[in-house]
Chains A and B, each alone.
Chain A
Amino acid sequence: MKKVLIATLLILVVSIIPIFAQGASESSVKLGFIGPMTGDYGNYGNLISKGALLAIEQKNAKGGIAGKIQIELIVEDSEGDPQKGLAGIEKLASSDKIVALIGPVFTGVAFAVGERVQNEGIMMVTPSGTHKDITDIGNYVFRTVASDGLQGDVSGHYFYEKLGIRKLGVLYVKNDYSQGLYEGTKASFESRGGVVTIAETAQIGDKDFKTQLTKIRASNPDAIYIPNYTAEMAQILEQATQLGIKIPFLSSDGFSNPEIYDLAGDYTDGVIYVGPTQVKESSDYKKFVADYTAKWGFAPDSFATNAFDAANILFETLEKVYAKNGKFDRKAIRDTFAATKDFPGVTGTVNFAENGDLVAYQGVYKVEGKTPKYIGTYTVVDGELIEIK
């Protein structure tokens, strides 16, 4: 029992040290981040948090908010589990006293944490939670990513109208992101008169898609839509080539992660995907990609880009709130953030709709070899596909 006692004492001593170390300093302001940092989806949390972190380091290098207040990002690991996500927000809200939250990364955790921040009065902005209902939680919930609804709408219409596809095969993964895009695209594609001839599914973490691809080929569609994450898509494209499938592939914003060209190699040629607009390859976007890659050693995906924008919009918000009130008030931050108008982000001009959704357009890209070529920017208004010039 003696050993147990000593161990307990040690744990207690260690626990108390950081409490003393946590001196409340006026010269910093804290933002929170929640995402999967370990486990199967650790890569997504890592990429996205680094987007926010880059924005913060750049801002701090310029002196921070009002030229004197440094910004701190507190990252909490959700492991993709709502229970862990709730523990994260509990800590961020009550121990760290964050003024705003970037994240959570995935829909499941976003719902649980969203209810919590709404109740607590802390605004959150998810750079990657695409489920259409997330922003319905309440007025404290925002996103800098297009909802499934919009992307699906544009995809379905574009495939039917511009690509002339009538029979679509789909291979999606049974997770919220992939299934959300499939459902959105199917609805708009079929509203135009197209037919989804076959929709095959895969499980999270699957690496073998040959069975589904063989079945899809047998149903003979005009194109195969694969709204998945990067690693899965690389796998699908490679195995399709191995099976000798010549049907064109269509994809989603998951394809905007340059890692795909590393993983899938030459198999990416000819893929057409709908993703975020990048204001026709703006110089801001190029600079962001260069900075990010130089800093972390790997390239950002579209969600990391969204997190970078979210952080920068938050800085602008914090500047305004601080200039007006001289302190950071959670309610004022929410109101000012909601009133953001025409923010020049690296993903394009950012505005928020009444419900906290991003007012966004969708870019369409065609991959030639290993380079995505920008085709155009589209949105859907009243069931009509409209090109934004």
Chain B
Amino acid sequence: MFNFILLILIYTAIFALMAIGQNLITGYVGLLSLTQAGFFAIGSYVTAILSVTYGWNFWLTVPMAALISSFFGLLIGLPTLRLKGDYLAIATLGFGEIVRNILNNWDSLTNGPMGIQRIPMISLFGIQISPYKKWGFLVLVWIFVLVAYFLFDRLAKSRLGRALEAIREDEIAASSMGINVTRYKVWAFILGAAVAGVAGSLQAEFILSVTPGAFTFMVSIMVLCMVVLGGMGNFKAVILGAFIIQFISYFPQLVGLSNVIPPQFKQILFGLILVVMMIWRPQGILGREKRSAPRRLFRSGGDV
């Protein structure tokens, strides 16, 4: 039971990283993007391929994962950012599916549907951080989360963050104030992608294998749920959101109910919670951090 709580906390951390990136894109800039699964997959495969095929050390694969993910962030961000609202959502969702599709078919690089196994464990100063002994891994992933939180929160409170918020509130007004809208949007995309790539690296190291089947668009949806459930535009809230979603997902297993209730009930419960939550508190549990001007959250017709 206690071990299982540790496991939930590890999964929370991995998803919290993705949620932090999503929050910058959706919570701050107001773009409805559904790409996190794609960047997550890219990060996972970068670590898997570099460490298994080319024998790289994990610590070198992490920056590569971030770099390659952000490159794809740029690649997908530049053209699609012209799109609005649901069009952007569906185009970015498409990108995630393309990534999974290619991973599943590019056999010579990714080993296709068989996936890549035997990823070497992380070692730090000669000490192996085994995913089987959860404490070490737990501390490691949460350090990543804290660093990401610190960096992104700083960033969001800086000039960039204010620019991003201005874009969300009113794009035309923002651009007439001299804000380079496209550039800021692309930056948000790149940073969001990078942190999801790092999350992918960690996921690969925890599972010790990768298969394309694990990166469906449901991952992106889950991450989005975490951001909305916690509270958009609030980095603490999205980490809380990540915990709540993971806790709900694994709750039946945690308390030993998973064998008693039909397996579908877990999913039905999840669906019910989503619906009830949206009706009850559409602004999320904590809501946006209150700092500036009046919010237009309940205005209909806005992008997000």
Q: Check A-B contact in the complex, CB < 8 A.
A: yes
Chain A residues close to B by CB (< 8 Å): 4, 11, 14-15, 17-19, 22, 37-38, 42, 74-77, 80-83, 86-88, 90-91, 94-96, 106-108, 111-112, 115-116, 119-120, 131, 133, 174-176, 179-180, 201, 203-204
Asked if residues B105 and A201 are in contact (CB atoms below 8 Å), the reply is yes
Query: In B244-262, which residues have CB < 8 Å from any A CB?
Result: 250-251, 253-259
Tell me which residues across on chain A come within 8 A of B211, comparing CB atoms. Answer: 82, 107-108, 111, 176
Chain A residues contacting B101 (CB-CB under 8 Å) are 203
**Given A131-B114, A203-B101, A116:B132 Cβ within 8 A:** yes
Q: In the bound complex, what is the Cα–Cα distance between A119 and B128 (angstroms)?
A: 15
- If the complex has contacts A108-B209, A174-B112, are A88 and B105 also in contact, measured as CB distance less than 8 A? no
| Cβ of B104 under 8 Å from chain A | yes
Please determine whether B104 and A174 come into contact, CB atoms closer than 8 angstroms.
Answer: yes
B78 close to A (CB within 8 Å): no
| Chain B residues closer than 8 Å to A90, beta-carbon distance | 3-4, 7
Number of interface residues, chain B, beta carbon within 8 A: 37
CB pair A83–B214 under 8 Å, yes or no, is yes
Task: Judge whether B117 is part of the interface by a CB distance below 8 angstroms.
Answer: yes
Q: B266 on the interface (CB 8 Å rule)?
A: yes
B61 at the interface (CB under 8 A from A): no
Q: Does B285 contact A (CB under 8 A)?
A: yes
Inter-chain CA distance A163–B45, complex, in Å, is 42
A11 to B273 Cα, complex, angstroms: 13
B76 contacts the other chain (CB 8 A): no
A-B contact pairs, 12 of them (CB 8 A): A18-B255, A22-B256, A38-B267, A42-B263, A75-B258, A83-B11, A83-B214, A87-B7, A90-B7, A119-B132, A176-B211, A180-B114
Question: Closest 4 interchain pairs by CB?
Answer: A108-B211, A37-B263, A77-B263, A94-B3
The listed residue with most B CB atoms (<10 A of its CB), out of A96, A106, A108, A120, is: A108
- 1/0 contact string of B256-286 vs chain A (CB within 8 Å): 1111000110110000000000000000010
CB of B85 closer than 8 Å to a CB of A: no
Rounded to whole Å, the gap between the CB of A325 and the closest CB of chain B is 26
Give chain B residues whose Cβ lies under 8 Å from the Cβ of A83. Answer: 11, 203, 207, 214
- Selected from B11, B209, B263, B264, the residue in CB contact (under 8 A) with A115 is B209
With A90-B7, A107-B114 in contact, do A81 and B253 touch (Cβ < 8 Å)?
Answer: no
* Interface assignment of B1: CB less than 8 Å from any CB of chain A: yes
Counting CB contacts under 8 A, is B94 at the interface?
Answer: no
By beta carbon, the residue of chain B nearest A35 is B263
Tell me if B113 is interfacial: C-beta within 8 Å of chain A: yes
Query: A174: which B residues are within 8 A, CB to CB?
Result: 104-105, 112-113
User: Quick one: given A112-B209, A174-B105, A174-B113, are A4 and B285 in contact (CB under 8 Å)?
Assistant: yes
- Chain B min CB distance to A4 (Å): 7
**Residues A75 and B259 in contact in the complex (CB < 8 Å), given A4-B285, A87-B7, A179-B113:** yes
Task: Write out the residue numbers on chain A whose beta carbons fall within 8 Å of the beta carbon of B253.
Answer: 76, 87-88, 91
Q: How far is the CA of A174 from the CA of B207 in the complex (A)?
A: 22
Give, as a whole number of angstroms, the nearest-CB distance from B205 to chain A.
Answer: 12
User: How would residues 1 to 44 of chain B score, 1 for a CB under 8 Å from any chain A CB and 0 otherwise?
Assistant: 11110010001000000000000000000000000000000000
Nearest CB on A from B253, distance (A): 5
User: Which residues of chain B are near A180, meaning CB under 8 Å?
Assistant: 114
Q: Do B258 and A91 touch (CB < 8 A)?
A: yes
Residue of chain B at shortest CB distance from A131: B114
* B4 pairs with A76, CB closer than 8 A: no
How distant is A306 from chain B, measured CB to nearest CB, in Å?
21
Question: In the complex, what's the smallest C-beta–C-beta distance from B244 to chain A, in angstroms?
Answer: 10
B207 touches A19 (CB 8 A): no
The reply to whether A87 and B132 contact each other, CB–CB distance below 8 Å, is no
B63 at the interface (CB under 8 A from A): no
- Which residue from chain B places its CB closest to the CB of A134 in the assembled complex? B117
- Known contacts A19-B255, A86-B207; is A108 also within 8 Å of B4 by CB? no
Question: Is there contact, CB below 8 Å, between B209 and A111?
Answer: yes
Most A-side CB within 10 Å, residue of B1, B2, B251, B285: B1
The complex places the Cα of A82 from the Cα of B1 at a distance, in Å, of 20
Inter-chain CA distance A123–B104, complex, in Å, is 30
Q: Would you call A175 and B113 a contact (CB within 8 A)?
A: yes
